[in-house]
Homo-oligomer: A and B are copies of this chain.
Amino acid sequence: MTKLQKSIDKRNALIKATIELVNNNGFHATPMSKIAKMANVSPATIYLYFENKQDLVNQTYLEVKTKYTDFVFNTYDENTSIKTGFELIWKRIAEFNINECEYSFFLTQCNNTPIIDEPSRQEGIKHLQPLLDLWKRGKDEGVIKPISDYILYAYSINPISSLMMAQKLGQFQLTKANTEEAFLTAWDSIKL
């Protein structure tokens, strides 16, 4: 294990601890000392990897967001019908939300509170371009409603987070059948 390897392990442990603690206790109840303890590291060590607490949470956000988009667009193929393309992306998003719900929950928190600073938030948004391109093509072909991307997103993508949230709170179970219903509902809401 090289020096670089070892460093990355520590950094990963710190990011993992941050996610877990912020998810369970909220950012306000997540002191650096607890993060250090959970990552099996001295508090001082955190500052070798991150400037300060804000930097730690910003970097954690971007890291998770990258994992998310990498996964989501990994199987995407531009050369399909609009519906198929949308289905590919949507189902990957759902899969990510179900299988990596720690990551998803963390992202939801970041997206709905001022814990991330604005530049990091902007950076995180960029990654969605392929989906926006697909929608543009869909609108041009008259397959997708000619409405704001924000509305399309709010109706077809964000509900996945809501369902993940409900599942986390134990109010609801995201089964295979449910997921299929949810997909069809998403498609119904944006198709022409």
Contacts and interface: CB of A to CB of B under 8 A. Distances in A.
A interface, over-half SS? helix
Given A26-B115, A108-B112, A150-B171, 6 more contacts: A27-B27, A28-B28, A112-B113, A154-B163, A155-B185, A188-B189
Nearest to A149: B172
Interface in A178-192: 178, 181-182, 185-186, 188-190
21 contacts: A24-B114, A26-B28, A27-B27, A29-B114, A108-B112, A111-B112, A111-B165, A112-B112, A112-B165, A147-B178, A147-B181, A147-B185, A148-B178, A150-B162, A150-B166, A151-B181, A151-B185, A155-B182, A155-B186, A155-B189, A159-B159
Given A112-B112, A185-B147, A162 B171 contact: no
A114 B24 CA distance: 7
A106 B9 CA distance: 37
Identical chains in the assembly: 2
A155 B188 CA distance: 10
A59 interface: no
B166 A154 contact: yes
A24 to B, nearest CB: 7
Nearest to A57: B28
A165 B121 CA distance: 13
Interface string A79-119: 00000000000000000000000000000110111110000
Contacts of A189: 155, 185-186, 188-189
A136 interface: no
Nearest to A27: B28
Nearest to A125: B171
A153 interface: yes
Nearest to A182: B151
